[in-house]
Amino acid sequence: MKRIGIIGGGSWGTALAILLSNNKHKVDIWVRNKIQLEQMLETRENKKYLPGVYIPKDIKITNDISQVIYDKDLLVISVSSHGIRETLNSCKEVIKEDQIIVNVSKGIENDTLMRISEIVNEILPNNPYAVLSGPSHAEEVARNMPTTVVTASVDKDVAEYVQDVFMSPYFRVYTSPDVIGVELGGSLKNVIALGAGISDGLGYGDNTKAALMTRGMIEIARLGEKMGANMATFSGLAGIGDLIVTCTSMHSRNRRAGILIGQGKTIDEAIEEVGMVVEGIKTAKSAYELSKKYNVVMPITKEIYEILYKDKDVKKSVINLMLRDKKHEMEDIAKEYIESW
């Protein structure tokens, strides 16, 4: 049995608290909002973020982040990516260096373009770190639907420790040394999922969405390679696996927001209707800036960024993508055969 603190009481934090409690670990969860906290304590249900799922009574729910951190073996960071720096800065003095940090949030900081591991390393440079990512809707994990994910760490022992803590008959965990690739795959797929949702909102079909997903993953992999990721990661759970589930499921808040934008709603209207953080909206800006920084051609990302931040007409964006200059599908393969083909 491990002592685990969950920092963040959204859908994913709650689902993982239930999973870890079912694995016989001692789990405390920090909830920022006091009204939400009172409701969860009274009903043992997270009605706003994870309705219909019972929270076991042995999970301690509190508004005191120090209590959640104190004397824990492992801390799970499950707040929105743009709130991680503030949250960690507020509690870094009570976090001990031997506590393992497991990040389950997905995003890239707008101002610095830092991945979450880089933010954690800046604030808590001596703490072991792992990221947990993959195709995993909270609504399904909390209901014991079979799920597979990957945990990545530069330290093999840390990755295997996290694997052992989270593994269950319903939750299979693989390990990886590629922190950069796992973080980028989990973050950038949200941008492509917004595009898939916009396509659905416009009334386009499966052909369009398949094209967006396939070419979108190529963009993610191109950027990932330039940033030091292993290309094989994008063929795995944190890459194509997470992209598929986020682009196709109505559990996906990014896809749902995209549908609303495609139907003509404003970004603010879409966020309000979804009722939860839509990570892809902020990440689209970071992804666009990263594409410029690393000189990577990312046409889908660029069009989604301009829809969100430049008020570009969504149908015009589709036309722009379809009428781009002619290209080989796989430029590297074409170059190999260019003399004989």
Domain spans in the chain, listed from the N-terminal domain onward: 3-177, 180-335
Within 23-155, residue ranges assigned H as helices are 34-43, 65-69, 84-91, 116-123, 138-141
Look at residues 286, 279, 196, 197 and name the one whose alpha carbon lies nearest to residue 12: 279
The residues assigned a catalytic role are: 189
Looking at domain 180-335, which CATH architecture does it have? Orthogonal Bundle (1.10)
Q: pLDDT band for 116, please (50, 70, 90 cuts).
A: very high
Place of tokens 């031997």: 98
Chain centroid to CA 144? 20
The reported pLDDT for the residue numbered 73 is 98
The reported pLDDT for the residue numbered 339 is 63
The reported pLDDT for the residue numbered 338 is 63
Residue type, 63: N
- For the chain, give the percent of residues with pLDDT over 90: 90
The reported pLDDT for the residue numbered 322 is 82
The reported pLDDT for the residue numbered 328 is 76
- Computed on alpha carbons and rounded to an integer, the radius of gyration of the chain in Å comes to 20
Q: Is 28's pLDDT higher than 70? A: yes
The reported pLDDT for the residue numbered 24 is 98
Determine the topology of domain 3-177 in CATH: Rossmann fold (3.40.50)
Whether the model pTM is above 0.85: yes
Look at residues 199, 182, 187, 219 and name the one whose alpha carbon lies nearest to residue 113: 187
Asked if 195 and 258 touch (Cβ cutoff 8 Å), the reply is yes
The reported pLDDT for the residue numbered 171 is 98
Longest dimension (CA), the chain: 72
Bridge partners of 46, per DSSP, are: 50
What mean pLDDT, rounded, does the chain reach?
A: 95
* CA–CA distance, 290 with 233 (Å, rounded to integer): 19
Q: pLDDT band for 227, please (50, 70, 90 cuts).
A: very high
Asked if 114 and 139 touch (Cβ cutoff 8 Å), the reply is no
